[in-house]
Amino acid sequence: MSPGVDLIIQARVGSSRLPRKSLMDLSGAPLVGRILERVKRCREVDKIVLAIPDTEENIPLRKIGEEYKVKVFEGSENDLVERYIEAAKREHTKHICRLPADNATPEPSEIDRMIRHHLSLKKRGFSSNLSEIKGSGYPDGIGVEIFDFELLCAARERYCDPARREHVHLNFYNYDNGLATDEEWCPISTIECPKEFRRPDLVLDVNTESQYLFMKDLYEYLYPKNANFTIVDIIDWYDNIYSIGD
């Protein structure tokens, strides 16, 4: 375990594309609960924090965090940069691991690999295997982003436009166009995805109704067989059962 490395998971009930998705059922538990269940297997994480808006409608998320025995922080709903900074400040976090609560199948071993990589860098900036970056080959949704607390504070002072305050990664890197915001200021780093699950075509986010139904099918098939199913199991199911069924 690396002191000061905290996994902060952002979640809210009021998602614009798929409202209440964090509470939607996946094989008998809410989506955010399944995420917490998986990331508690990470070995390089010091603390897990569920960072939610401080509004009445998000009380169910607070109760889920308490049920799964993780720390809960309540802060700004739309200013995610501020929510992360205040959560990290309360926990004395040195290295922030960011995970959105629409990534329902985080892979603990790959989160651990990313943490070790980030901490090994001589000049640390923004490190990610959350999705494919620089040809890494990662599926979308099994990894994590990592950046130091001081860097996020610097980004708050450097950028003030609403899009960057609502989407933390845009302060450092844009996944849509593959461009760094300023790589001289903030180097972008990743690791190569292992060959056995090098599948950048696979999207494991839950942002729409169809993506939720896909994830629901995935969990209903895999979870009863093995609660600790891995990305290799997901790919086997996707290639040999789900796709054939379509």
The whole-number pLDDT of residue 16 equals: 74
The amino acid that residue 152 corresponds to is: L
Per the structure, the count of domains in the chain is: 1
- Flag residues of the chain having pLDDT under 50: 1
The whole-number pLDDT of residue 243 equals: 86
In this structure, are residues 128 and 114 in contact, taking their beta carbons and an 8 Å threshold?
Answer: yes
Structure tokens at 77: 């709903």
The whole-number pLDDT of residue 132 equals: 95
Structure tokens at 104: 């329902």
The whole-number pLDDT of residue 246 equals: 56
Helices (H), 136-208: 149-158, 162-166
In this structure, are residues 11 and 32 in contact, taking their beta carbons and an 8 Å threshold?
Answer: yes
In this structure, are residues 203 and 239 in contact, taking their beta carbons and an 8 Å threshold?
Answer: no
Residue 125's domain comprises 5-245
In this structure, are residues 66 and 50 in contact, taking their beta carbons and an 8 Å threshold?
Answer: no
Q: Cβ of 53: how many Cβ atoms within 10 Å?
A: 21
Task: Output the domain CATH number for residue 77.
Answer: 3.90.550.10
The whole-number pLDDT of residue 19 equals: 86
CA distance 93 to 97: 10
Q: Cβ of 127: how many Cβ atoms within 10 Å?
A: 29
Judge residue 162's burial from the number of C-beta atoms within 10 Å of its C-beta, 0-12 exposed, 13-18 middle, 19 or more buried: exposed
In this structure, are residues 42 and 83 in contact, taking their beta carbons and an 8 Å threshold?
Answer: no
